[in-house]
Amino acid sequence: MLMTLSYLLLAGLTNGSVYGLIALSLSVIYSASRVINFAQGEFVMLGAMSAVLFLVTLALPWPVALVAVIVVSVVVALGLDHGIYRPLVRRKAEPLTIMIGTLAGAIVIYGSAFLIWGPEPRFVPPVLSLAPIRLGFLISNAQQLSLIVLFFGFLALTWFILYRTRFGLSVRATGVDPKVALLMGIRSERIVQFTFIYSAAMSGIAGMMIGPLLGAHVSMGILITVKGFMAAILGGLGSPFAAAAGGLAIGMLEALMAGYGTSLYAEPAIFVLILMVLIVRPYGLLGDYEAERR
């Protein structure tokens, strides 16, 4: 019984790390712009599919391929920023309009990837070994454990940037009131651009690391975006760390539902949980605490 529970918690922690990374990415952008980037999951897809291109087709060493994946993600993020976000902001579009614009951007990214790679799933070579690693009575592998390490690493890096640097203070000031921040000499457009780039790089790396475990296909970004958004709402969209905690909660709930019941009821159960949480705590599980802290 304890062994089964431990395996389920490890699986939940792995999936939750992926959802947490996407929720963290969504919340970083939202914290600076008050806009939800519905194209965020497509950067995970780009990371996985680009890894196929660089590791398989071009046979590049994985460190070079990793840099190339980051470059692809950053270039696409800049296109999203300059092609959708900035033009709409300069025309004083409402946040809802900008969010619909990011959804259109997601469709363009998906369509372009479909034309390049087609609908078939692709195998992504593992960056790290898939050989079993025994952790007490648990068995994992380096590729799976790297996702967990990656999640907590980006969580620590985001905390350091936001709360231990002057630049992070500018990011938080822009999120509170971009007009006042502009009057104080903070270039809000550059701040938002940084959040797009940072979040895209984070998601691209996550895609490259998750590809060997789940496979890669051009439609994977849609589901990941939905799960990341659910995680951010559950934890608290206004705080990157609360949103990341929501990702872990959803990953754990999915694993426990699959282990002790059926995975068919996992998503309905998650939606019921989110609804119950929002009725009691409209800011999410940790959202109001983080809002007061900010």
Per-residue model confidence as pLDDT tens for the chain (294 residues): 666 777 778 888 888 898 999 999 999 999 888 889 999 999 999 999 999 999 998 999 999 999 999 999 999 999 999 999 999 999 988 989 999 999 999 999 999 999 999 888 888 888 888 787 877 767 788 888 889 999 999 999 999 998 898 888 888 888 777 777 777 788 888 899 999 999 999 999 999 999 888 888 999 988 888 888 889 888 888 788 888 989 998 988 888 887 777 767 777 888 888 888 888 887 777 765 444 444
Residue 287: predicted pLDDT? 64
| Phi and psi torsions of 122, nearest 5° | -120, 150
Residue 289: predicted pLDDT? 45
| Residue 209 forms part of a structural domain | yes
Distance between CA atoms of residues 239 and 25, nearest Å: 11
- The CATH number assigned to the domain holding 63 equals 1.10.3470
| Residue 267 forms part of a structural domain | yes
Give the domain extent around 226: 9-127+140-293
Q: How deeply is 129 buried, as exposed, middle or buried, from its count of CB atoms within 10 A (0-12, 13-18, 19+)?
A: exposed
| Residue 107 forms part of a structural domain | yes
Total domain count, the chain: 1
Q: How deeply is 120 buried, as exposed, middle or buried, from its count of CB atoms within 10 A (0-12, 13-18, 19+)?
A: exposed
**Contact call for residues 239 and 30 (beta carbons, < 8 A):** no
| Residue 135 forms part of a structural domain | no
Global pTM value:
0.90
* Tokens matching residue 224: 């990941």
Handedness of CA 142, 145, 149, 151 (dihedral sign): positive
| Residue 4 forms part of a structural domain | no
Read off the DSSP letter of residue 58.
Answer: S
Distance between CA atoms of residues 25 and 85, nearest Å: 16
| Residue 2 forms part of a structural domain | no
Residue 284: predicted pLDDT? 77
| Residue 184 forms part of a structural domain | yes
